[in-house]
């Protein structure tokens, strides 16, 4: 299921790998690198699981493997090596924001216990920003923060939060993250946190999100 050479024939293979990871079924921890076609024109990049990485790109798989061999001495960490990621950005003409921790949580039944007001204004800054990275975007305002849902990498449902500075320390982040689990129209909900943003990492883990991977995404925008 997770070949180590060549390019995957089907563009939805990444979605299947992610869905399996959400259920606790991961690629083999064999030190391998799966190179596959990108799931769409918007995103290229890397998802790194325990001792197995997936590189999704329109670039030549042989170039990917040669660059990995040339830029990292530790093959288990090669795909997240800054040298490789910099080479991939040069090759694709894209940029990236950061390497994120990828977390996932199961959807919850019923309505959220947080009062939310959906933002319909498509010019709202949070809507404008989300539309650059996601499809089917919906945004809700709450007392002390904003919640954003949308379909991101490989069509997965993703959430991001913004907590007002004056509301920090009041548990707003975890409550909004739990609310998002009630709102998601799919079986699971994904989120990404910068590892250095300890407050965000703690908030999502308090809300029941479990870490499954790291990733570096090179968007088209």
Would you state the pLDDT for residue 36? 95
pLDDT in tens, 112-131: 999 999 988 777 777 777 77
Would you state the pLDDT for residue 125? 77
CB neighbours of residue 169 within 10 Å: 9
3.40.350.10, 3.90.480.20, 3.40.630.30, 1.10.10.10: CATH of 102-211: 3.40.630.30
pLDDT in tens, 152-207: 999 999 999 987 777 677 778 899 999 999 999 999 999 999 999 999 999 999 99
pLDDT in tens, 26-74: 999 999 999 999 998 999 999 999 999 999 999 999 999 999 999 867 8
Domain boundaries, the chain: 7-96, 102-211
**Long-range contacts of range 191-198, CB-CB < 8 Å, 24 or more positions apart?**
191/102, 191/103, 191/104, 191/105, 191/158, 191/159, 191/160, 192/100, 192/101, 192/102, 192/103, 192/158, 192/160, 193/100, 193/101, 193/103, 194/98, 194/99, 194/100, 194/101, 195/99, 195/100, 195/101
Q: Cα–Cα distance between 114 and 106 in angstroms, integer?
A: 18
pLDDT in tens, 72-122: 678 889 999 999 999 999 999 999 999 999 999 999 999 999 999 998 877
């Amino acid at each position: 299921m997770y070949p180590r050479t060549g390019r995957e024939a089907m563009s939805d293979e990444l979605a299947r790998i992610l869905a399996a990871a959400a259920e606790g079924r991961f690629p083999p921890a064999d030190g391998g690198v799966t190179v596959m076609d990108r799931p769409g024109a918007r995103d290229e990049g890397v998802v790194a699981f325990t001792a197995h990485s997936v590189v999704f790109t329109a670039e030549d798989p042989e170039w990917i493997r040669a660059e990995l061999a040339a830029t990292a001495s530790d093959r288990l960490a090669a795909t997240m090596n800054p040298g490789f990621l910099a080479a991939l950005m040069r090759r694709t003409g894209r940029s990236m924001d950061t390497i994120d921790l990828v977390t996932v949580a199961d959807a919850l039944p019923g309505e959220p216990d947080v009062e939310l007001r959906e933002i319909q204004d498509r010019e709202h800054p949070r809507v404008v920003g989300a539309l650059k990275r996601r499809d089917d975007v919906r945004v809700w305002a709450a007392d002390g923060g904003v919640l954003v849902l949308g379909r991101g990498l490989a069509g997965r449902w993703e959430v991001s939060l913004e907590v007002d500075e004056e509301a920090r320390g009041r548990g707003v982040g975890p409550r909004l993250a739990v609310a998002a689990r009630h709102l998601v129209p799919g079986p699971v909900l994904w989120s990404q946190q910068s590892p250095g943003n300890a407050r965000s990492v703690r908030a999502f883990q308090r809300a029941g999100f479990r870490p499954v991977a790291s990733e570096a995404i090179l968007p088209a925008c």
